[in-house]
């Protein structure tokens, strides 16, 4: 079963593995660095449009973040 916590962990891993600084990600998305920090601390999840743009910025497949590619 896919849980919000699974998705949150995958998102955090993708951000951490991107090699980009929080400010760089925030600038590319047009959001504040503190919002990216909130994603990393698990305090917030991005809105759907921000999530799609974040996946593009991080060059990750949204299906990987959403755990839909994980085997059951």
Token readout for 40 is: 């990393």
SS3 69: coil
The CATH architecture one would assign to domain 4-65 is: Orthogonal Bundle (1.10)
CA 69 to CA 29: how far, in whole Å? 25
Q: What is the pLDDT of residues 11-57, one digit of tens each?
A: 999 999 999 999 999 999 999 999 999 999 989 999 999 999 999 99
Examine the pLDDT at 72 and tell me if it is beyond 60.
Answer: no
Examine the pLDDT at 71 and tell me if it is beyond 70.
Answer: no
């Amino acid at each position: 079963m896919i849980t919000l916590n699974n998705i949150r962990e995958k998102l955090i891993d993708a951000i951490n593995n991107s090699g980009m600084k929080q400010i760089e990600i925030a600038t590319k998305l047009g959001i504040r660095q503190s919002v990216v920090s909130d994603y990393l601390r698990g305090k917030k999840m991005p809105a759907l449009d921000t999530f799609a743009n974040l996946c593009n910025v991080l060059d990750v497949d949204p299906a990987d973040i959403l755990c839909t590619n994980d085997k059951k």
